[in-house]
Every structure is written in C-alpha cells, then in structure tokens.
Structure 1
Amino acid sequence: MSRLTLAAAASALLAACLPTAAAAQRSPQPVTVVRVGNLFDSEAGRMVGARDILIRGDRVAEVGQALAAPDGATVIDLSGCSVLPGLIDAHTHLLLEQRDGEGLSDVAARDQAAQGDVYRVLSGARRGRQYLEAGFTTVRDLGNSGGYLDLMLERGINDGLVPGPRIYGSGPGLAPAGGQMEPMPVDPHHLVGAEYRIVVSPDDARAAVRDAVARGADVIKMYPEATPQRTRMSVAEMAAVVSEARRHGIPVAAHATSDAAIREAVEAGVTSIEHGYQISDGTLRLMAEKGVWLVPTDPSLEMALEFSSTWPQQPPREELERHLQAGRDRLMRAHRLGVRIALGSDLYFPYGPGRGAGARATLDGYVEAGLTPAQALQAATWEAGRMLGDDALGALRANAWADLLAVEGDPTQGLAPLRSPRLVMKGGRIEAGEASACAG
C-alpha cells in the first residue's frame, strides 16, 4: 500500500469514527418535570386542570397526571399557576420602527444609511427580548427587514448569541413595482430594492421564492397590493409564488387590504391574509372554504389610547371606540363565517410599553371585538402554530417544543393574568421569571 493510499485510508477511518466519539462525549439531555396547577389545552380551547409535563431537552416528552420524576430530573413547581403554550405573534416587524410623520422611504434611508445593518439588528434583538419576556416564545417576522436581516437575527437567537423568541422569518417581501414606499420619481440610493424583492413576471416570482428558500426563509411574504402604491401583482405572478412555495413546503402570507386583492390572493392559494381591512362576506366564505387564515392586525383600545397620548389634542375615548369598530366588526364576521383566526400585532410604531406588551394588548382587542378569552388564546397558540406549519408549536403535548407561559389566575376567564407572566420557558429553558414563582 502506498504512503498516499495509507494516509487516505487513515483519514477515512478517522472521519467515520469522529461522529461516534463526539456522540459519546455529548452531555445527556436535561430532564425537567413541570407540575402545573391548571393547564390550557389549546386545541380544545379550555383549561383541563392539574397536569405534569415531562421535558427532555427542548421538547415535551409526555403530558399526564402524577408523572414520576426520573432520577436526576429538575422539578419545577407551578402548581399555584395556570400554564399555557408559549404565545405566538404571527405578524411582527422586528427590524422596523416608523416614527410619527415618517414615510417608509425616510425609514429606509435612516435604517440603510444613517444607522446601518448592525444597529438595526441590535434594535431588533431588543424588541425580540420584549416579546420573549411578555410570554411570546415565537414570532413570524414578515419583511421590512433589509437584506435578510431577520434571518440573521433568527440565526443569532438559535445559536444562543442573544435571547429572543423563535423566529419564522420571510426576508424581503415579494412585491410589485415600488414596494410599499410612497411614489418616488427617482430612487438613486435603491431604497426600494433594499427592502423589497420586486417581482416583474411569473418566472421571476418563482425565482424569488427559490432565492428566499435558499437563504433560509421559513415563510414567503407577498404583496398582492402595496398601499400607498397603486401597483399590484398579477394573478399569474401570485399563482407562481404560491405554487413554487408549495413545492418547497413553506407557507405564503399575503398582505392584502382591498376585497379584490384579497380574493385574488385566496384564489391563488395563499396560507393567510394579513390585515384584510375591506373584505366582503363572500370573500370570507371563500377563505373558510379553502382553509385560509385571517390575521387581523387591529389595535385594542388600550393601544389606541397609548398611540394618541402624544398627539397635540387627544381624541375622546368614544371617538377612538368608533374608529376601532370597523376592525372589530370584520373580525367577528370572519369568526361567524368559520374563518380561522391567528394573532398578529403588526406593531412597527414606537409603543411605550414595548413590543411584547403590544402583542398582548392586540389579543385584548380580539376580546373587545367579541371573541371569548379562550378563543383569543387559541388564536395566539393552536391556530397560529397550525398556520406556521410547525406541529411542534402552539400546544403542550408529546413532541411539541417545550415552550410555556405561567400566569396566576384563569386566563380563559379574562386575559388580565397575561399582563404579569410569572415564568416564561422556551425550548425547556427558563427565559423570564423564577422557577419558584408559582409554587403551590
């Protein structure tokens, strides 16, 4: 055997042995048993009483009653609290903040030039931490994130570099000419192209989907229309986006506000309609028939009062209530017609209490519209998890992510307990609160 052949054989043997050796040296998965006083069954939409949750590593292994703790397991006593799956905000913009009086082109100029990517990602990390501390262990981030900065933040969180929620990111949204920016006669700094992936044909739409998938996108964000622009994607372009996304097994979220654009997107086969402000009952029936989710992004009264608190003249509470009523009516029409609802805050304006508090307050708005607290909680757990296409999300059952939120009181009787989380766990690790916060 030649010296070269001998060296090659030794290298091959070493390569074959290394995975086995590495596996032998890995630390065993941590085992945790959580004693729960009252568990929210997100699929059924009700509290089911005391349960124990056995967690191995970052997943739930078993949920039952009076489970024995394995030798060496950590036991967390939450018998004095109610426990829910970690909450999900399915429409966020971690990398965007639009101040009062700014156009999106102003925001893009500030983000891209004056502050830059590093500052923007650091700001997004701070907002992500706000979601996590409020009990939102997962977010779906839908564009306005520069050149895939949301996916970079997602990677940083997954690698443990910074704390934050589990991110399902889209990268730049697929949009018609101009994106969502106000019409600009010239764009010398290419602000539009740095925030949106402009689609010019069905073949280009398919290529855009493949590029997003290659970069790690978990969802495709599409703009059938892009207010304040008057441009719209063609039916053929939307169909191409959806078919290519299906080939790759990822969902499509469609930003659509007018009934015509919503209907075209639904007929194209999208997974969800974001906003859906001007939607007819006929289109809602079509959504129910096709199993398309609606993500209502209307603020609650609490949020409206906070937003308007800095105005030179704050409108009366009654005027704000009237302004909110159209969104509430739309949500309840959708609910009555059998459309599936998932929570999305779409919070990208400065909000004093923080992004996580805004997502929680959006959930309050669903109850103000007429959903029961339990139905609202389902929108932020079970329904959002199904919409994201990850069976391990939005529920506490075997093989689910070990994401949970502990609160005092019964949140199905009113959402006030969500204002003061006692413990937040993501992937089997305590991220906020104390293990002894809910001891019975």
Structure 2
Amino acid sequence: MSTTPAPSTALINARVFDGDRTLEATTVVFDSTGILAVGGNAPASAQVVDAKGGTLLAGLIDAYVHTNVESLALALRFGVTTELEMQGTYTADNRAHITAHITADDTVADVRSSGFGITPPGGHPSELFPEGFRPGPPPGTSGRAPLMPFSTTPEEAVAFIPQLIERGSDYIKFMVDDGSVEGHPGLPMLDRATLNAGVAEAKRHGKLTVAHALTIEATRMAIEAGIDGLVHLFMDGPHTDEIITLIRDSGAFVVPCVVLNASMKGITGDQLADDPRVAAQLDEAWTKTLRSSFNHYPQGKIADVLGSVRALYDAGVDVLTGIDASMPMPFLGGLAHGASVHHELQYLVRAGLTPAQALRAATATTARRFGLNDRGRIAEGLRADLLLVDGDPTTTISDTLNTRAVWRRGTRLTAV
C-alpha cells in the first residue's frame, strides 16, 4: 500500500455532501494543507479528478474501536479516516508517528484514544484477559505501557484522572458493567460514589467523559453521574420514555454500536461479508471474524435496539456511528474495521434515520461531539480527509461502499 501526493487536487462534477447537507457546489479543491476551496473553478495547476456520477463525503469517523496499525490501515481502505479508540494504547505519546504533521503515515487512519477505562480490579474487561495481563506500548513505538486505572473508591478514581491525562488520554472512559450481558454476571462494578467522583474530576480538568454501559440501570447510573456520552446502547430490554427523557435532558450523546449489539445477540456479519465490495478488502482472518458473532446475549431482540435508536434520535439525542471492532478473532466476531462502519450506517437507516442523518452520525456530529474541529465536514480550511463513492448515499445508504477514492490529509490512498 502506498500513497501518491500531488501539489493540489480539484474534484469536479461531484455531488458534495458536506457532513450536514448536499451542497450546490460541485468542485472541491484541496492539497496536503487542507481544503482550499468549495465551489468555483478548478485552478489550472491542479490535478483534476472528474467525479461525475459520484458523491464526495467527508472522511468517516468511527467513534468506537480497539485498534492497531494494521486495523487503522484496513479502516482507511473503507473511507474511515479517523478511529476513536475506547480502550487501548494509542494515547498521544504512542501515536506520534501517525499524527505528526511531517512524519505521519497517510496509509492509515488517524486515531484518538481514551487509554484504558476506569474500572474496579476484576471488573470489565478484565474477564477477557489472562490473569496479570498488562499490555505494553504499541509495536514500533517508544511509548510507555498504558496506565491501568483500577479504582474501588472515589479517592482512587479522582487520583487516576490527572495520571490518565498526563499519559495522553484524549477523553476519559468509565466502565459501568456487571457482566450480566456479556455472560459474566457478578463482575465487580464501579459504585455510584466512585463513578460520580471520577466523572466530576475529569470534567474539572476539562476532559470529555464517556461510559461503557450495556443495561438500562447502568445507563441511568452514568447519566446521573453527568457523563458526556454513552458509547454503547443498553440491550437488556426495550427503552422506556423515562430513560429516553433522562438521556435527552442530560445532553449526552449515544454511540449505539448496533453492529455490536447484533453480534451479542448471535447475528453474524455474513450478509456484509457476502458483499463483493467488502470481500475484496478482507483477508481470511477478518472474513472468518466477520462471519462469526459474540452470541453472549441471544435472548435479546435487535428490534428493541433499533427502536431505542429511533426513539433517541427522535428525542433530539445526538447519535454517533461506532462499531466496537477489535482483533480478527472469531470470538470477537460480527465486526471488521472499516467495513462494519458501513454496516452500522445501514442499521441506523433501518432504525428510521434518513441516509443523510446516518451520514451526519459518521461525520459532522461525531467530529463536533469529540471536539475534532478540523474534520468531519467539507469546508474551506479543514483537513482534506475525503471519501469519493459512486452513486448517491444520501438516498441509498449502501452506496457508501462504492469506494472510488480515499484521501487522508489530501494524499490519495492507492490500491483502494
């Protein structure tokens, strides 16, 4: 995989969805410094790309992953130009080789990270790892091993906040999970006092806070603690008017990860894997993973999840696109980096969002809620993170998979 830089590029004859709406402008000019113009004529010096029959989108943002360099590369091939890590090692010091302006690797997606989430000893996700597990820094970096912020008291949670910030966490994650949905009931879980204190301290430091919560009661705890965003949607039953109102009135956003909830209920990604536009980009390990599922909560109903997404959106809650993809292992199945973002968009439309509303959830809305003010939209002065697809995904959402070209910071990815 390689990239081909050019002094500047002018896309002409494009349908342009700027992250919020379809523009009248059909020309976008950009280079490695960013988007130079939206509308007008192509400069004589620019390399011209005729986008006739296609739609230009802002690069997609996946608001929930666990990742590595190989997965970041896979995501980019599907037009996902930024991944937001919700448990992992790509904090600021460990991703310098990816994000530095001059030395950045434009063959992989950009990344932000929470580091590791605040949870009690033995709490989620400890059940997924061998006893004594302590991850190191990402391969090929000189960074430090991540901080493991195990907390059982308010004082411990408060003390970990400045340490996480010093280690480069972009936002602070809290695990509110007793394991009942994942097939490990009785896991240690943060109590209300510890959660409340940790969230308040993170806010005091000006940090965005997010919560992993898979049940209605855990969701209530997180919202009552003042959390800024829920990075899962409860799946233990249908929504109630009370929980929807509670979330709406709090101003919190929700990353429902419908594809993850479907996998938890035993629904595989077979249909996505059968799509030749996806199959061509996945190796054997990822194909096998996508065709599997978590299957920890088969008693759940996907209709309940979709109904909750629609109720949240109709109530005015910001819904973001995320998938919770991790490593290519069948027990983490039903998901694949990049590809499943497109599946999530299809699920959002199935829940009742329009295609344009779903596209906002993967671009402008996510950028706004995570303070990524340099991306997520097509506008002069922003990063040239762009996805050109054939067709019109503002009317047919599956057209997002018709990849014609991907640019990260104005550099076109080759061999897409």
TM category (shorter chain) comes to 0.7 to 0.9
Partner of 2:38: 63
Aligned to 1:140, what secondary structure does the other structure show? strand
Counterpart of 1:157, as a letter, is I
> Quick check: 1:220–1:245 contact (8 Å CA) kept in 2?
yes
Identify if the C-alpha distance between structure 1 residues 347 and 188 changes in structure 2 by more than 3 Å, giving closer, same or farther.
closer
- Hey, what does 1:54 align to over in structure 2? 29
The more displaced of 386-395 and 126-135 is: 386-395
Work out which of the residue numbers 327, 336, 340 in structure 1 matches 2:305: 327
Match of residue 220, structure 2, among 263, 266, 271: 263
Larger Rg: 1
What secondary structure, in the 3-state scheme, does the structure 2 residue paired with 1:177 have? coil
Matches of 2:245 and 2:381, distance apart in 1: 34
Q: Which moved more, 1:375-384 or 1:270-279?
A: 270-279
Aligned partner of 1:252 in structure 2 is 209
SS at match of 1:285: helix
Shift of 1:156: 2.7
Matched, 1:275 2:219: no
Q: 1:166 aligns with which of 110, 117, 123?
A: 110
Per the alignment, residue 151 of structure 2 pairs with: 199
Q: Would the alpha carbon gap of residues 245 and 31 (structure 1) be closer, same or farther in structure 2, given more than 3 Å must change?
A: farther
Closer, same or farther in 2 for the Cα pair 1:337/1:63, shift >3 Å? Answer: same
Q: Which runs of 5+ in 1 are unaligned?
A: 1-28, 95-123, 435-440
Alpha-carbon distance between aligned partners in 2 of 1:341 and 1:260, rounded to the nearest angstrom: 20
Superposed displacement of residue 201, structure 1 = 2.6
- Show the counterpart of 1:11: none
Q: What is the match of residue 12 of structure 2?
A: 35
3-state DSSP of counterpart to 1:263: helix
Identical columns (%): 27
User: Which residue in the other structure is 1:418 paired with?
Assistant: 400
Task: Provide the rounded CA distance (Å) in 2 between the counterparts of 1:321 and 1:382.
Answer: 35
Q: For the residues of structure 2 that align with 1:179 and 1:386, how far apart are their CA atoms?
A: 31
Q: Contact (CA 8 Å) 2:91, 2:168: kept in 1 or not?
A: no
Alignment equivalent of 2:174, drawn from 214, 219, 222: 222
> Scaled by the length of structure 1, what TM-score is found?
0.73
Q: 3-state DSSP class of the match of 1:197?
A: coil
Question: Is the contact made by 2:230 and 2:252 (CA closer than 8 Å) also made in structure 1?
Answer: yes
Cα deviation per residue 1:192-235 (whole Å; 9 max; x = unaligned)?
A: x9784211332322332211211222121111225235322233
Q: Give the conservation status (yes or no) of the 8 Å contact 2:268–2:334.
A: no
The whole-number CA distance in structure 1 between the counterparts of 2:147 and 2:64 is 17
- TM-score of the two chains, using structure 2 as the length reference: 0.77
Q: Quick one: structure 1 residues 188 and 182, their matched pair in 2 at CA, closer, same or farther if it must change by over 3 Å?
A: closer
CA deviations 1:94-145 (Å, max 9, x no partner) are 1xxxxxxxxxxxxxxxxxxxxxxxxxxxxx21111111000000111110x3
Deviations 1:152-193 (A, max 9, x none): 663232243573111011111111231314669x945668x9
1:336-357 CA-to-partner distances (Å, cap 9, x unmatched) read 2221100011123646984211
> Equivalent of 1:357, from 326, 339, 345?
339
Q: Distance in 1 between matches of 2:210 and 2:335?
A: 28
**Structure 2 CA distance for aligned equivalents of residues 247 and 353 of structure 1:** 36
Q: Which one of the candidate residues 374, 378, 384 is aligned to 2:360?
A: 378
SS of 1:276's equivalent? Answer: coil
**1:74-85 aligned within 5 A:** 74-85=47-58
Instruction: Name the residue aligned to 1:92.
Output: 65
AA at the equivalent of 1:207? A
1:285 to 245, 248, 256: 245
- Does residue 409 (structure 1) correspond to residue 368 (structure 2)? The answer is no
Q: Using a 3 Å threshold, how does the CA distance of structure 1 residues 310 and 165 change in structure 2: closer, same or farther?
A: closer
AA aligned to 1:376 is: A
Q: Following the alignment from structure 1 to structure 2, what is the Cα–Cα distance between the partners of residues 419 and 202? A: 46
Contact 1:58 1:429 in 2 (8 A): no
Alignment check: 8 A CA contact 1:32 1:56 kept: yes
Distance 2:398 2:226 in 1: 37
1:177 matched to 2:121:
yes
The runs of 5 or more residues in structure 2 that have no matched partner are: 1-5, 136-144, 274-286
**In structure 2, do the counterparts of structure 1 residues 354 and 310 end up closer, same or farther at CA, with 3 Å as the change threshold?**
closer
* Paired residues of 1:33 and 1:75 also in contact (CA < 8 A): yes
Partner AA of 2:57 in structure 1: L
Whether the aligned pair in 1 keeps the contact of 2:62 and 2:82 (CA below 8 Å) is: yes
Q: RMSD between aligned alpha carbons?
A: 3.4
Query: How many angstroms does 1:408 deviate by?
Result: 0.8
Distance 1:74 1:212, change over 3 A: farther
Structure with the higher fraction of residues in helix conformation: 1
How far does residue 150 in structure 1 lie from its aligned partner after superposition?
Answer: 5.6
Q: Report which stretch shifted further, 364-373 or 277-286.
A: 277-286
Confirm whether residue 155 of structure 1 aligns to residue 128 of structure 2. no
- Does structure 1 retain, via aligned residues, the 8 Å contact 2:12–2:42? no
Alpha-carbon displacement from aligned partner over 1:69-102 (angstroms, at most 9, x marks no partner): 2x644443324421010001100111xxxxxxxx
Higher strand share: 1
Residue 196 of structure 2 corresponds to which residue in structure 1? 239
1:427, distance to aligned residue in structure 2 (A): 1.1
